[in-house]
A and B are shown apart, each in its own frame.
Chain A
């Protein structure tokens, strides 16, 4: 490693924590603004190439894709207000591997509508094709709504989903490790391609999976592609602390974020892991300006563009549990009372259900709207998600770095509001400042995503070898 000592990355001030950066392709939700004249395609491959190359020029650790396996619906009709439509995650990442050299390629794949053998083979293939840049955000999907698109259907009980996910990830990792270091011999004189006939053999019998065979890929460059986990529930946290290399989570206030990070790292330590090898990576949005005031103005414009009148009504329907399509978004808040449960179960298919007391929430919003004289749409602009980071390049660099240096996160997965150019300014203006501080390396120093993220190149074995039955 003596050669590495001369690299810029090694000049960082002692004790300074590294900021890990992910680039989230704009998603299928109200964050993405399609009405802006600068908004391009969300499906043309050229959009993905543009953003991935921007991220790689600025030494982002990885490119990130979310997943959605059924279009959202309201009363059996497709939700039409936000960006609708996205490509298949793995096919895009494989294609991007050909136009990037260093950038990690991380995709969200559900453990509910896939099988461990398939996912293990797909990610090992991506890891081989990309020379060690594959990553997997492992999620669970509880609903029968999505299950209607799959052979497997929607039977999985919410309580069972992390149980299946844990067994799923354990089997996947066992397959990735089913070839030993010296198993591929390709010895033509001895007529052996593999060391012996049992190379890659696996056999697992558990509660959710009963599988056996031979894994058809040699050990990949990372051996184990990076595994992220998303899911903030107690079961989700327990799963992530045990099984994941990183946690993809929501952005929170500073204190809450520190508490979340401490909780996860504490759980990892309790499971016998090095807490530094569990990265906390919240998703974060941003609005950049030449001055603080310009950034604030820009942030407000983006929020207004994210919340059309129709979107505002749709947002409130999730709290009112009523069809509000007859109301005027430029008028006052609807005078009807919220219902405890949706009046029609098809009202909000495929959307996140609020976990708050909806009656109290709506009362609070009415008071806010009255005090500030806000229309229905103004109110939703006011209370719906705000950008995580707002300011000049220097201010955003400071906000990001401060959070990482004070233990609120290990980095951020940045979500631009525009495709394909939404990351350009941040990449060109903010990342160099983080590099000047020594918080982001000047160049890629590792060979693999795992190495660039500071994760152990040879991950410890966390699961029992599957050749022996439990």
Chain B
């Protein structure tokens, strides 16, 4: 892949006060402030200065849950989940280089609002916006809106027929949402605003396009209300475990987030990349190949023993009756050197980069900043759009008339 910086793409995933459900017990004051701008600025500005490529925000949509399945209300869990597109927007003016990527639940939002909000984030950040799309099949979250009827997601077996049908439905819906986003972002050609005083026309309406999307799940007429943004189409990210998510990524994303090792035996980093390439072939992908980032939870310590002890303590806080953190990603419990060694292995196996998920913001982010990120990212890197950083060209609008080069 063309890489203008020459280093792996490094994203840091921020979520609450850290990815481990016990993290808030260590940082109660941070947890209390976790919807304020000051809290997020303090986290993001050092990452921006360090040269980190991307910061992402999760969207539990409702109250945060512990993992797969219907989220259960518990008094001993962090219950703060601000709207991530607005969080990202509030960080745009005070950051310079880092790309801002909120997650959006496609199942319960209006694609028109999502398209215009992400395009606006791209304008406000001068080309540093992206969006991670997530389909959600839980009944608990559907009931927050009361608009879509979903059966309870059966957690005992992931393959219960009702849950399979619900997942089919929400992923099919997400595919249509992704298609609508791309079309709306293309619905204004770059030079649509002409300000022609002679004819009194502000725009050339021949360069604005109805998208006329009619799918099985939704229909959107268009065009967008937002003129084309600096990147044209902000990059789309999809996290994939489910085969449906690999298919969605291959059809509609620019970046796919995969789990490069256990807990899925046989799915080592090379295996994950092979699954991505197979999905691309099956989808007949015409776009540039997906950028593949590995999902890594991080519990760091000066020694392996210290890291192991930290995880044990977090687990004891989160699961007083016994039990361990159930993560969907690789969990690296070790020293910064251990993490860098794994990163080298994954890089050699074909991953384009990593998304690092700190178990505890207050502890793991400073360790990452001091001991890991200086080896992975370039603190002196230039200001780039997210597409540029990913080595992706700025696309022409699909509605634009072919140029002479296209014809030749």
Contact = CB atoms under 8 A, between A and B. Distances in A.
A80 B123 contact: no
A34 to B, nearest CB: 6
A105 B86 CA distance: 13
Interface in A146-194: 148-153, 184, 186-188, 191-194
Contact of A216 (B41, B79, B204): B79
A50 interface: no
A97 B199 CA distance: 39
A309 interface: yes
A87 B226 contact: yes
B81 to A, nearest CB: 4
B179 to A, nearest CB: 14
A128 B91 CA distance: 14
Contacts of A199: 75, 79
A85 B193 contact: yes
A68 B225 contact: yes
Interface in B104-137: 108-113, 116-117, 119-121, 123-124, 126
A85 B225 contact: yes
A176 to B, nearest CB: 13
B52 to A, nearest CB: 19
Interface string B63-107: 110000000011111111111011101111110000000000000
Nearest to B197: A35
A309 B200 contact: yes
Interface string B135-155: 000001101111100000000
Interface stretch (A110-118, A269-277, A415-423): A110-118
A129 B120 contact: no
Contacts of B119: 87-88
Given A68-B225, A186-B31, A218-B80, A87 B120 contact: yes
A341 to B, nearest CB: 24
B32 interface: yes
B75 A128 contact: no
Chain B's interface size range is 35 or more
A193 B93 contact: no
A129 B203 contact: no
A216 B62 contact: yes
Contact of A87 (B76, B116, B126): B116
A211 B77 CA distance: 23
B202 A81 contact: yes
Given A43-B226, A85-B188, A87-B120, A191 B320 contact: yes
B60 interface: yes
B222 interface: yes
A193 B24 contact: yes
Contacts of A79: 205
Given A82-B202, A122-B83, A211 B146 contact: yes
A280 B183 CA distance: 41
Interface residues of A, number: 79
A206 B79 CA distance: 26
Contacts of B86: 90-91, 94, 122, 125-126, 129
Interface in B202-229: 202-205, 208, 218-223, 225-227
B205 A115 contact: no
Contact of B120 (A91, A124, A131): A91
A148 B220 contact: yes
A131 B221 CA distance: 37
A97 B225 contact: no
Interface in A80-112: 80-88, 90-92, 94-95, 97-99
Contacts of B345: none
A251 interface: no
A253 to B, nearest CB: 31
Interface in A47-71: 49, 68-71
Given A43-B226, A308-B200, A88 B113 contact: yes
B93 A99 contact: yes
Contact of B202 (A34, A49, A150): A34
B347 interface: no
A335 interface: no
Contacts of A200: 63, 79
B112 A209 contact: no
A293 interface: no
B205 A191 contact: no
Contacts of A213: 62-63, 140-141, 143-144
B29 interface: yes
B22 to A, nearest CB: 10
A232 B131 CA distance: 39
Contacts of B203: 78, 80, 84-85
A310 B75 contact: no
Contacts of B36: 128-129, 131
Contacts of A197: 73-75
B222 A196 contact: no
B201 interface: yes
Contacts of B92: 45, 95, 98
A321 interface: no
Nearest to B187: A71
Contacts of A187: 28
Nearest to A128: B35
Interface string A125-146: 1101111000000000000000
Given A118-B145, A191-B76, A217 B200 contact: no
A184 B144 CA distance: 21
B195 interface: yes
Interface string A200-213: 11000000011111
Interface in A348-365: none
- In this complex, the member of A152, A186, A310 whose beta carbon has the largest number of chain B beta carbons within 10 angstroms is A186
B79 A151 contact: no
Given A78-B208, A217-B82, A34 B195 contact: yes
B310 interface: no
A193 B218 CA distance: 39
Given A128-B35, A200-B79, A91 B85 contact: yes
Nearest 3 A-B pairs (CB), nearest first?
Answer: A308-B200, A216-B81, A148-B221
Interface of B: 24-26, 28-29, 31-32, 35-37, 41, 60, 62-64, 73-83, 85-87, 89-94, 108-113, 116-117, 119-121, 123-124, 126, 140-141, 143-147, 188, 193, 195, 197, 199-205, 208, 218-223, 225-227, 317, 320
Given A149-B221, A216-B63, 6 more contacts: A43-B226, A84-B208, A85-B226, A86-B226, A188-B28, A192-B75
Interface of A: 34-35, 43-45, 49, 68-71, 77-88, 90-92, 94-95, 97-99, 113-115, 117-118, 121-122, 124-126, 128-131, 148-153, 184, 186-188, 191-201, 209-214, 216-218, 220, 308-311
5 contacts: A90-B89, A91-B86, A129-B86, A192-B76, A199-B75
